[in-house]
């Protein structure tokens, strides 16, 4: 690789931030196993957890969101900010349970969809069906796929094609945009 090309790659990596650096820990073995995670996701819910439908959309004016969210949550969810890598305790969360949107409580991922990407951001290889919508953003030099909560539109992260098989997807999520509800939590 030419030196200039190498430096260019380094710069691009720094810009993307969300670069995968470690081996995948616990991917499902085949497409059928992923399908099972999609159909059985409610098994990861704690008893009594409210489950809003992604179609019941939540729309609030920004001043209202400001009151409801912390400054950091607002920056990520409503302004598409990115938290610093390695700052979310949810990156190391290993208990069984469900990750819900910090804005509206919609279940987005189960613990069985999570893997250790080594990026410093909570990472998932698939989502709960219908939970997320995507759009292309051009905030850095090349296009990335942004994804957000289907219910409240809150920005969650970006999805990349370097995830573990069989999905090959890596949902690189801001921990601050999520709330974790362990399966054994009291209602
Ligand atoms: Zn939401």
Question: What would the two tokens of residue 13 be?
Answer: 């990596």
Distance 59 CA to ligand 1 centre (A): 10
Distance 136 CA to ligand 1 centre (A): 19
Distance 142 CA to ligand 1 centre (A): 27
Residues near 93 by Cβ (< 8 Å), separated by ≥ 6?
A: 111, 114, 122, 180
Distance 113 CA to ligand 1 centre (A): 18
What pLDDT, in 10s, does the model give residues 117-176?
Answer: 999 999 999 999 999 999 998 888 889 999 999 999 999 999 999 999 999 999 999 999
Q: How confident is the model at residue 26 (pLDDT cuts 50, 70, 90)?
A: low
The yes-or-no answer on residue 172 being catalytic is: yes
**58 pLDDT more than 70:** yes
E-assigned strands of the chain? 97-101, 107-110, 114-115, 123-124, 132-137, 144-149, 155-160, 170-173, 178-182
Residues near 183 by Cβ (< 8 Å), separated by ≥ 6?
A: 44, 45, 46, 95, 96, 97, 98, 111
Can you give the pTM of this predicted structure? Answer: 0.85
* Residues in a beta bridge with 70: none
Domains of the chain: 49-182 (2.170.150.20)
What pLDDT, in 10s, does the model give residues 71-119?
Answer: 999 999 999 999 999 999 999 999 999 999 999 999 999 999 999 999 9
């Amino acid at each position: 690789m030419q030196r200039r090309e190498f430096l260019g790659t380094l710069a691009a990596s720094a810009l993307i931030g969300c670069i995968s650096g470690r081996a995948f820990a616990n991917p499902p073995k085949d497409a059928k196993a992923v399908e099972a995670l999609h159909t059985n996701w409610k098994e990861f819910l704690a008893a009594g957890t409210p489950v809003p439908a992604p179609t019941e959309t939540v729309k609030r004016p920004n001043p209202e969101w400001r009151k409801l969210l912390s400054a950091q949550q607002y920056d990520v969810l409503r302004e598409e900010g990115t938290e610093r890598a390695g700052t979310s305790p949810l990156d190391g969360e290993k208990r069984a349970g469900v990750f819900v949107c910090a804005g509206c409580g919609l279940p987005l991922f189960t613990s069985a969809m999570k893997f250790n990407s080594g990026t410093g951001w909570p990472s998932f290889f698939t989502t709960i069906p219908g939970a997320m919508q995507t759009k292309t953003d051009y905030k850095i030099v090349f296009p990335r796929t942004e994804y957000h909560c289907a219910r409240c539109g809150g920005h969650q992260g970006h999805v990349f094609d370097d995830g573990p098989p069989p999905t090959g997807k890596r949902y690189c999520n801001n921990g601050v945009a999520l709330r974790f509800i362990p399966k054994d939590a009291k209602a």
